[in-house]
C-alpha cells in the first residue's frame, strides 16, 4: 500500500513537472484585457530633470487601483524605418476591462497627475486596444 | 500537540491569504522586459477577410519561442483627441530582453509572417521600449 501510494505520488510529481514545462514552452496570450499605451514627447527632450519628473509622476499615477499591470519605458536601442523612437517616455497600463479604464480617467490620482505633469509634454499619443 | 499544529497551520493559512490579498492590491510593475508594440493599417481597412488573415498570421507569429506574452488587439471604444484609433490591428509582444527580440526578427516564423502577410498592410508603426 505504501509502495502504491509512493508510485502514485511520483507519477503525480512527474505530471506536474510536465505541466509546468508545457506552460513555460507555451507563449502566454493575454486575453480579456484593456491595453492603454501612452507615448509622451517632452517640451524639453534634453532635460533630465523633466524626464525624472515625468517618470516620478507616472510611478504615482500607476497606483490607481484599477491598473492591473504597468510598464514605464523609454525607446529601446532598435532603429528601423518603421520604428518610432522619437518619444521620451512610454507608459503601458493594463486594465481588466473598459469600465476600469474609464474609472481611471476620473480617478483623483489621474487628475493630480495631469495637473502636476501636463506642463512637461508637448505631445501625447494614446493607443487603446481590446482583444481583436 | 495536534492542537498546536492545527493552530500553526491555521496561522499559516491566514498569512498566505493576507499575502495573496496584498499582492492583488498592489499594482504589478513590469520590469526587465522589452516591449514591442506594432500597429497595422490595412490596405483594405473594410475587408473582414484581410483582417482575419492578419489576425491568423499574428497568432502563428506569436509562437516564436522568445515571446513571453502577447496580445492581439483592435481599437477600443474610446475616442479623445489624443487617441489614435485609425489602425486596424495592434500586436503587443513582451520579450525578456533585447537579445530575444533580435533573435525573433530573424526567426523563420517571423520571415514567413512577413512573406505571407506584408501584402495586407500599407502602414506599420512600431514602438520598442525598455525600462525607463
As a CATH number, domain A34-130 is 3.30.70.100
- Beta-strand relationship, B67-75 and A28-29: parallel
CA distance A45 to A18: 50
User: ipTM value of the model?
Assistant: 0.81
Under an 8 A CB cutoff, do A67 and B27 touch?
Answer: yes
Please report the beta strands in chain B, taking only residues with DSSP state E, as ranges in sequence order: 28-29, 34-42, 67-75, 89-95, 121-131
Per-residue model confidence as pLDDT tens digits over A20-66: 444 444 579 999 999 999 999 999 999 999 999 999 999 999 999 99
Task: For residue B43, give the C-alpha cell.
Answer: 490596405
Contacts of B31 in chain A (CB under 8 A): 71
- Is B24 at the interface with chain A, CB within 8 A? no
Question: Which whole number is the average pLDDT over B86-99?
Answer: 98
Q: Dihedral sign, CA of A72, B132, B98, B26?
A: negative
CB count in 10 Å sphere of residue B95: 24
Q: Among A1-5, A25-29, A102-106, whose mean pLDDT is lowest? A: A1-5
Specify the pLDDT at position B18: 44
Between chain A and chain B, the number of residue pairs with CB atoms below 8 A apart is 153
Which residue of A lies nearest to B56 if distances are taken between CA atoms? Answer: A132
Contacts of B67 in chain A (CB under 8 A): 27
Task: For residue A19, give the C-alpha cell.
Answer: 505541466
CA distance B49 to B2: 66
- Is A33 at the interface with chain B, CB within 8 A? yes
Per-residue model confidence as pLDDT tens digits over B93-132: 999 999 999 999 999 999 999 999 999 999 999 999 999 9
Specify the pLDDT at position A4: 56
pLDDT bin (cut points 50, 70, 90) of residue B27 is confident
Q: Report angle CA B9, B14, B15 to the nearest 5 degrees.
A: 95
Contacts of B98 in chain A (CB under 8 A): 76-78
Contacts of A67 in chain B (CB under 8 A): 27
Q: Dihedral sign, CA of B48, B49, B54, B55?
A: positive
Specify the pLDDT at position A27: 72
CA distance A68 to A70: 7
Is B67:A27 a contact under the CB 8 Å cutoff? yes
Which residue did the predictor score with more confidence, A53 or A17?
A: A53
Helix (H, G, I), strand (E, B) or coil at A110: helix
Amino acid at each position: 500500500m505504501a509502495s502504491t501510494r509512493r508510485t502514485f505520488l511520483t507519477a503525480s510529481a512527474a505530471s506536474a513537472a510536465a505541466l509546468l514545462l508545457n506552460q513555460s514552452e507555451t507563449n502566454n496570450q493575454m486575453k480579456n484585457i484593456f491595453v492603454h499605451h501612452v507615448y509622451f514627447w517632452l517640451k524639453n527632450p534634453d532635460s533630465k530633470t523633466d524626464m525624472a519628473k515625468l517618470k516620478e509622476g507616472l510611478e504615482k499615477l500607476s497606483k490607481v487601483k484599477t491598473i492591473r499591470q504597468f510598464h514605464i519605458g523609454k525607446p529601446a536601442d532598435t532603429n528601423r524605418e518603421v520604428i518610432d523612437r522619437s518619444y521620451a517616455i512610454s507608459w503601458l497600463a493594463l486594465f481588466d476591462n473598459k469600465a476600469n479604464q474609464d474609472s481611471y480617467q476620473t480617478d483623483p490620482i489621474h487628475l493630480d497627475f495631469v495637473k502636476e505633469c501636463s506642463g512637461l509634454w508637448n505631445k501625447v499619443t494614446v493607443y487603446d486596444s481590446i482583444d481583436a
